Chain A
């Protein structure tokens, strides 16, 4: 019997050893495959999708500065700097202006500036928008255009009801930029939650303190208060009946008074019990 068990144990060890022997090269191969895949990513290491926020066309009479609207959109859209790269046309323009000035002056810095222009102009996608008003309703729309494929990849629009505070156009621009950003995170990155968010999952919260308040015991005080209050009322009524009985039979008044007094005592007892259980 013992020999049999030893044999079974030995066979088990052999089987386990064999499995490990088979699994090790397989794992190495799978790692090679993964590394191979990583060696040929869609974007090289460190390269992020580059967006250029070109223009926000603003309808006449809206009192909104189009450059400011564009920069609001660009700043908001570009806030996840480690995920995507967003440039505003303002930056490109200022670089172009500086380059033109440098060339006119014949300084050596112009080469660097021109290189920078090339860097800025090479963008994967262009973001543009439009703000228009029709019959008091303001509409804001934004779109992402893929410059390589020549297609509009995403477009969002939101409206501001007539009579709403006009500054809410900024809130609409913010929310549309958020929509673009969420789209960009989902479409162009691995969309994995940030390490800060994952750390929050490990931070457990203490149980709700008001659980006691929801227990049946806490209701005792409430019920007791109501019963005691009702008892007082009934007792007062009994007293009134008794006082006006005159020469008649006082039984009714006494009964009402007794019931009221009893209810008051019971209610008070419940309130006290509630106090003791807390």
Chain B
């Protein structure tokens, strides 16, 4: 009977320590579970705002949700904005010229995906036109990659 007490005590103590450790490791667990995604999304928007491409609020509204990046389109054609290469590209861009050009690969890929017709010249075209009118080109291409397929035509009026 006496031998049972140390065991029970061990379990209780182990549980107590575990409970104490949980709050401490909360942020780390959050990071593991993708809680930093929202911070990543906010950082993308901060960079875009810094370059004056679109306001941070407008960016947050179209790119981020409460947990991280938005998912657009119906379930069958789910388009997770967290998977966009432009996000990392914009976060690591050294200057604003590099940042605006980040949108081209994803925007081209989105149009290709929706129309079902890959366009080999799209990337070159996109970069040439962004060099001529950076803000309009950036906003329109961001709109393309953040929109459902059916809404793509509306993006042509986004850049003014």
Are A156 and B117 closer than 8 Å at their CB atoms? no
Are A228 and B21 closer than 8 Å at their CB atoms? yes
| 8 Å CB interface, B71-120 against A | 91-97, 99-100, 111, 114-117, 119
Are B119 and A175 closer than 8 Å at their CB atoms? yes
Tell me the minimal C-beta distance from A33 to chain B in angstroms.
29
Residues of B within 8 A of A53 (CB): none
Are A164 and B116 closer than 8 Å at their CB atoms? yes
Q: Which of B13, B122, B133, B156 has its CB near the most chain A CB atoms (within 10 A)?
A: B156
Are B114 and A200 closer than 8 Å at their CB atoms? no
Are A76 and B134 closer than 8 Å at their CB atoms? no
**Of all chain A residues, which has the CB nearest B47?**
A205
Are A210 and B39 closer than 8 Å at their CB atoms? yes
- Contacts A159-B115, A200-B97, A222-B28: A268 and B17 contacting too (C-beta < 8 A)? yes
Are B24 and A232 closer than 8 Å at their CB atoms? no
Residues of B within 8 A of A (CB): 3-4, 6-15, 17-18, 20-21, 24-25, 27-29, 31-32, 36, 39-40, 43, 47, 50-51, 91-97, 99-100, 111, 114-117, 119, 121-122, 124-126, 128-136, 149-150, 152-153, 155-156
**Of all chain B residues, which has the CB nearest A162?**
B116
Residues of B within 8 A of A186 (CB): 128
Residues of B within 8 A of A267 (CB): 21, 25
Are B121 and A179 closer than 8 Å at their CB atoms? yes
**Number of cross-chain contacts by CB at 8 Å:** 225
Are B14 and A197 closer than 8 Å at their CB atoms? no
Residues of B within 8 A of A181 (CB): 125, 129
Residues of A within 8 A of B (CB): 76, 79-80, 83, 156, 158-161, 164-165, 167-168, 170-172, 174-175, 178-179, 181-182, 185-186, 191, 193-194, 196-198, 200-206, 208-210, 213, 218, 221-222, 224-225, 228-229, 231-232, 235-236, 238-247, 250, 253-254, 257, 260-261, 264-265, 267-268, 271-272, 274-275
Residues of B within 8 A of A238 (CB): 10, 14
B114: which of A171, A196, A203, A265 is its contact (CB, 8 Å)? Answer: A171
Tell me the minimal C-beta distance from A176 to chain B in angstroms.
9
A268: which of B11, B24, B129 is its contact (CB, 8 Å)? Answer: B24
Are A264 and B14 closer than 8 Å at their CB atoms? yes
Are A203 and B96 closer than 8 Å at their CB atoms? yes
Please give 11 more A-B residue pairs, beta carbons under 8 A apart, in addition to A208-B91, A238-B10: A164-B114, A168-B152, A171-B152, A171-B153, A204-B95, A205-B47, A222-B29, A228-B21, A232-B17, A235-B14, A264-B14
Are B125 and A178 closer than 8 Å at their CB atoms? yes
CB-defined A-B contacts under 8 Å, sample of 18: A191-B128, A193-B132, A197-B130, A203-B96, A221-B28, A222-B25, A228-B25, A232-B21, A236-B10, A236-B11, A236-B15, A239-B14, A243-B6, A243-B7, A246-B3, A253-B6, A264-B18, A267-B21
